């Protein structure tokens, strides 16, 4: 697991639930001495142990926790890797290009042998995207949260139209609604 994810997981837990929550989760996971830095790699098991401990500590279901974290983590990640993202992109452009233009570049920079999740995005209709997630990790809820985070970052909303979870994979269809359209729809 990339340190940038674990580093931000700590920030998320502290911001959302307080420093005691993170400290308690680290202790419960047997990782109380571990410090996470964005430029290192860590065993996947550490993420699994921390998420399980945070689940206990917060009383949130694992998928709810991962989805909330996925939504929360996108703005700091986009800001961190802003140089890889053209300024003219919106949520649609970002999602259609995230795998090749952002995700794979960042992951491969840190570890050419990494086995990151595979994210496949295609446009079904204007503003309607089908997103496929495949991974040996069971973190599809994080991916769904990230889609909401991307939409929010670009001032849009992602409405989930279809969601089909599976073993190690997930497929969902989202409609991206720009902020001005959303505002005009709610005025009707």
**Which residues in the chain show pLDDT less than 50?**
182-188
Same domain, 42 and 78: no
CATH of the domain at 180: 3.90.1520.10
Same domain, 102 and 50: no
Instruction: Return the percentage of the chain with pLDDT > 70, whole number.
Output: 87
Kindly write down the DSSP assignment for every residue of 109-153, as one continuous string. Answer: HH-TT--PPEEEEEEEETTEEEEEEE-SS--HHHHHHHHHHHHHH
Q: Which domain holds residue 53?
A: 3-60
Residue (of 76, 64, 78) closest to 11 by Cα position: 76
Same domain, 82 and 11: no
Same domain, 33 and 55: yes
Q: Quick one: pLDDT at residue 1?
A: 82
Q: Quick one: pLDDT at residue 110?
A: 61
Sign of CA dihedral 3, 8, 11, 12: negative
Q: Quick one: pLDDT at residue 186?
A: 45
Q: Of the candidates 12, 34, 60, which is a domain's last residue?
A: 60
Is residue 65, in this structure, part of any structural domain at all? no
Is residue 113, in this structure, part of any structural domain at all? yes
Same domain, 56 and 74: no
Q: Quick one: pLDDT at residue 109?
A: 59
The count of structural domains within the chain is: 2
Same domain, 126 and 170: yes
Q: Environment class of residue 33 by beta-carbon count within 10 Å: exposed (0-12), middle (13-18) or buried (19+)?
A: exposed
Same domain, 122 and 43: no
Same domain, 123 and 32: no
Is residue 131, in this structure, part of any structural domain at all? yes
Same domain, 103 and 177: yes
Same domain, 90 and 177: yes
Q: What is the pLDDT of residues 128-175, one digit of tens each?
A: 999 999 888 788 899 999 999 999 999 999 999 998 877 778 899 999
Same domain, 11 and 38: yes
Tokens, residue 22: 């993170």
pTM above threshold 0.85: yes
């Amino acid at each position: 697991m990339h340190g940038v994810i674990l580093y931000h997981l700590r920030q998320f837990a502290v911001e959302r639930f307080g420093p005691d929550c993170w400290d308690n989760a680290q202790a419960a996971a047997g990782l109380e001495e571990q410090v996470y830095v964005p430029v290192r790699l860590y065993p996947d098991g550490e993420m699994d142990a921390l998420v399980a401990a945070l689940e206990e500590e917060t009383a949130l279901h694992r998928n709810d926790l991962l989805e909330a974290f996925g939504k929360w983590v996108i703005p700091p990640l986009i800001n961190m890797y802003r140089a890889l993202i053209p300024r003219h992109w919106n949520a649609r452009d970002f999602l259609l290009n995230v795998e090749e233009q952002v995700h794979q570049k960042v992951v491969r920079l840190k570890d050419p042998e990494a086995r990151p999740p595979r994210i496949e995005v295609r446009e079904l209709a204007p503003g309607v995207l089908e997103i496929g997630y495949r991974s040996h990790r069971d973190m599809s809820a994080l991916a769904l949260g990230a889609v909401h985070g991307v939409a929010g970052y670009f001032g849009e909303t992602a409405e989930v139209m279809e969601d089909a979870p599976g073993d190690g994979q997930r497929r969902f269809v989202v409609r991206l609604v720009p902020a001005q359209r959303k505002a005009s729809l709610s005025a009707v």
